[in-house]
């Protein structure tokens, strides 16, 4: 099941939700400001990142700018508590399933959540269109 972690005023979150709905994909939506991420959820997100906390911290957020502490100096437990208490430190949207993670909305990258069969059909359609265009150019 796809999980979508959002905040209410986030345009990218609305785009991600709309895309998932357009594709008729089942997903669970969670507003991280009304229901903060649990430590297990944060650990699960971090386990799917390539760069750890670097990927999920919203460095441009006012919450980050006003921090009195260097995140690099925090223990994992302190960091998890900080994320739980200040959800605006977390980049949004977070879209994930058991194997994939996308942080932020990217129209191309979000396609990884489409079932393989759908992606294969779309690729076949692209190849067909290219072949048709080549046939027209040759004729």
CATH value at residue 57: 3.40.30.10
Q: Is residue 23 part of a domain?
A: yes
Asked if residue 125 is part of any domain, the answer here is no
Confidence of residue 100 (pLDDT cuts 50, 70, 90): very high
d(CA 138, CA 135): 5
The answer to whether residue 10 is catalytic is yes
Q: CA 7 → CA 4, 59, 92, distances in Å?
A: 10, 16, 7
Least confident of 6-15, 58-67, 84-93, 130-139: 130-139
> What's the CA gap between 61 and 127, in Å, rounded?
42
Q: How many domains does the chain have?
A: 1
**137 domain residue, yes or no:** no
pLDDT at 119 exceeding the cut of 70: no
Rounded to the nearest integer, the mean pLDDT of the chain is: 90
Strands (E), 39-110: 94-96, 101-103
In a domain, 46, yes or no: yes
User: Is residue 34 predicted with pLDDT exceeding 90?
Assistant: yes
Q: Give Cα 90 to chain centroid, integer Å.
A: 11
What's the domain range around 34? 2-113
Active-site option among 4, 10, 42, 96 = 10
Domain-located, residue 105: yes
Mean pLDDT of 127-134: 79
- Could you tell me the CA-to-CA distances from 46 to 6, 19, 73 in Å, in that order? 17, 24, 17
């Amino acid at each position: 099941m796809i999980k979508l972690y959002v905040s209410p005023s986030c345009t990218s979150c609305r785009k991600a939700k709309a895309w998932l709905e357009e594709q008729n994909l089942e997903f669970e939506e969670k507003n991280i400001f009304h229901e903060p991420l649990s430590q297990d959820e944060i650990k699960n997100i971090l386990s799917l990142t390539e760069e750890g906390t670097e990927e999920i911290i919203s460095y441009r957020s006012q919450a980050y700018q006003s921090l009195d502490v260097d995140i690099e100096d925090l223990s994992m437990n302190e960091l998890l508590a900080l994320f739980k208490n200040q959800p605006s430190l977390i980049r949004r949207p977070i879209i994930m399933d058991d194997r994939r993670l996308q942080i932020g909305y990217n129209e191309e990258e979000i396609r990884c959540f489409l079932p393989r069969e759908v992606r294969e059909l779309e690729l076949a359609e692209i190849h067909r269109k290219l072949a048709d265009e080549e046939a027209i150019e040759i004729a």
